[in-house]
Amino acid sequence: MVSDMRRIFHLSDIHFGLENNRALDWVKQEIEEHQPDAVAITGDLTMRARSREFEAATHWINSLQAPVTVEVGNHDMPYFNPIERFFAPYRRFRGMEEKVEREIDLGTLHIVPLKTAVRAQPRLNWSKGWVTDAALAKCLAAIDALPGGTRALVTVHHPLREVGTQGTALTKHGDKALRELAKRPVEAVLSGHVHDAFDIMEQTGEGPIRMIGAGTLSKRTRSTPPSFNDLEWDGEGLTVCVRNLDDVETGDMQIDDVPENALPPRRESDPVAPVRQVPRVDPPVR
Ligand SMILES: [Fe+2]
Ligand SMILES: [Fe+2]
């Protein structure tokens, strides 16, 4: 009998240029030791999409001994070259292009990407998320084409809705995407961007949907130490362990949900997003 057990390492926000090498050495070793069935990297590979940062990211990602899928983060779009940003925004992924926004077949589970980083948007802050109609249609078509009984694991960079983390995504059309995903056999939406981990069940008009966020493997930590998510699928359910070098328990690593009205409504003209202060999780004293 073929086992349905699958293990996925969900990494995010490595930010080469300000990467945490101790954390990266540890994660690479964990991948070699445990040989997960897939590694999902949910974007922000670099700090400013500089060539040398992409070279380091490509070298590290290509050295991983596992099937890898990579989402594009807002930090991965050309930052200093607007012409390249508009006309060839993914050119710097050469050397790992076959891993970018790639689906991975894991039997009864299937990874399906959904792009949330865009090259431009009609608001001041282009770092925030945006789900275009084309990106959503592509993702939904991929889910609808899956064989019966298969659950989708959707990978995005920006969380599709605010989840109470200190960093915000303010993803435009994220609610519409969540409602469409909730109608389909989606096990969870995996995201990055906010640099803190979470695992929450969100309600939509079309039913609940699970949102799982990974922390960062960079020095740009917010409320929690560097971490990645170790996911286990047993054919029926998905469990999440937030692995980190400080041995902080998963429950203490995951930022709690907040009521929907906890964040004040934001005008498009506001240059700075509202920030909720989340208490810092102190690692245990050793
Ligand atoms: Fe990031
Ligand atoms: Fe980001």
CATH number, position 51 = 3.60.21.10
CA of 83 relative to ligand 2 center, distance in Å: 21
- For helices 174-182 and 133-144, the axis angle rounded to 10 degrees is 10
Does residue 23 lie within any of the structural domains? yes
CA of 4 relative to ligand 2 center, distance in Å: 32
CA of 162 relative to ligand 2 center, distance in Å: 14
Q: What is the pLDDT of residue 284?
A: 43
CA of 13 relative to ligand 2 center, distance in Å: 7
CA of 235 relative to ligand 1 center, distance in Å: 31
CA of 54 relative to ligand 1 center, distance in Å: 15
Round the average pLDDT of the chain to a whole number and report it.
87
Q: What is the pLDDT of residue 85?
A: 77
User: Minimum-distance ligand to the CA of 214?
Assistant: 1
User: Minimum-distance ligand to the CA of 157?
Assistant: 2
CA of 217 relative to ligand 1 center, distance in Å: 9
User: Minimum-distance ligand to the CA of 222?
Assistant: 1
Q: Where are the alpha helices (DSSP H) in the chain?
A: 21-34, 51-62, 82-87, 133-144, 174-182, 250-253
Does residue 186 lie within any of the structural domains? yes
| Domains in the chain, number | 1
CA of 238 relative to ligand 1 center, distance in Å: 25
Dist CA 130 CA 100 (whole Å): 18
Does residue 286 lie within any of the structural domains? no
Does residue 268 lie within any of the structural domains? no
Q: What is the pLDDT of residue 274?
A: 34
CA of 44 relative to ligand 1 center, distance in Å: 5
Does residue 109 lie within any of the structural domains? yes
CA of 74 relative to ligand 2 center, distance in Å: 5
CA of 233 relative to ligand 2 center, distance in Å: 26
Dist CA 72 CA 45 (whole Å): 8
Q: What is the pLDDT of residue 280?
A: 39
Taking the alpha carbons at both ends of the chain, their separation in whole angstroms is 45
CA of 10 relative to ligand 2 center, distance in Å: 15
Q: Render pLDDT for 20-39 as a digit per residue (tens, 0 to 9).
A: 999 999 999 999 999 999 99
Owning domain of residue 244: 6-258
- Is residue 74 predicted with pLDDT exceeding 50? yes
CA of 130 relative to ligand 1 center, distance in Å: 15
Does residue 279 lie within any of the structural domains? no
Q: Render pLDDT for 185-222 as a digit per residue (tens, 0 to 9).
A: 999 999 999 999 999 999 999 999 999 999 999 999 98
Does residue 222 lie within any of the structural domains? yes
CA of 106 relative to ligand 1 center, distance in Å: 27
Record the tokens describing residue 37, joined without a space.
């069935």
User: Minimum-distance ligand to the CA of 76?
Assistant: 2
Angle 273-75-218 (CA atoms, 0-180°, nearest 5)?
90
Dist CA 44 CA 154 (whole Å): 17
Please state the φ and ψ torsions of residue 232, each to the nearest 5 degrees.
Answer: -125, 125
Does residue 269 lie within any of the structural domains? no
Q: What is the pLDDT of residue 104?
A: 98
- Is residue 72 predicted with pLDDT exceeding 80? yes
